Amino acid sequence: MSGDIIGLVDALGETGAVIVGHDWGAAVAWHCALLRPDIFRAVVLLSVPYRLRSWADIRPTEAMKQMAGEKQFYQLYFQEPGKSEPELEADVRKTMLMALYTGSGDAPPDKRWRFLFDKSETFLDTGTVPETLPPWLTEADLDFYTEEFKRTGFRGGLNWYRNVDTNWKLVTQILSGAKIRQPSLFVAGEFDGVIMMYRQAFDSLEENMPGLRKKVLVPGAGHWIQQERPIEVNNLLIEFLASL
């Protein structure tokens, strides 16, 4: 995927770019920055903080098992092919609405996304469907997401989780100890479950990203930061770009 982005820069006739990524896109963005600093002169990560790799690391799925203990961790829940697909695809609109609402800052604390859940529960048991749409989500948006996932199914997205150990093996040996030294910005929502999940990585950003200009948690926002708070996120992006 980093190769695809490098190819995109070339196809546009450019020799350099600033890259911005959200969630798994943040991982693609930081790999681009680490692998091709000659092309990517600055990087913005949304929601998911950069985590330094080490030769001493254990496989991601083993680390997940240790973290989960007697609970289920959603990324482990997704590992078995054919288990989650029918659950998520039974009512695609409900799945998308639940995921978007439960991961956002609009959900009350007892309704927010849980990355750990009981072994008696399914993934969809961890979410809530709202009675009305939050203000940042329209019926047209929801219709689009629903039709696209009806068309493709969820297997492609789930396979990203199933490939996590392989991706780790491919890059750990060349990126062990690597720090992001380009100018950088990190933005996440105050109530983003990923910050709870990777708090240590968030707290270590200044050390692991020596070029970090600013680290922001937007009050009241959740995981879908650029949808929930577009004005605030755009202002932070423009401020950062102007500083380069």
The conformation of residue 216, written as its DSSP 8-state character, comes to E
Burial 64-87 (b: 16+ CB within 10 A, else e): beeebeeebbbbbbbbeeeebbee
- Evaluate whether 55 touches 176 at the Cβ level (below 8 Å): yes
165: annotated active-site residue:
no
Q: Which residue among 10, 23, 118, 192 is the active-site one? A: 23
CB within 8 Å of 84: residues ≥ 6 apart? 77, 78, 123, 154, 158
Q: Which residue among 22, 106, 192, 223 is the active-site one? A: 223
CA–CA separation, 131 and 36 (whole Å): 46
Task: Tell which residue, 185, 193, 182, has the closest CA to residue 234.
Answer: 185
23: annotated active-site residue:
yes
Which are the catalytic amino acids?
23, 223
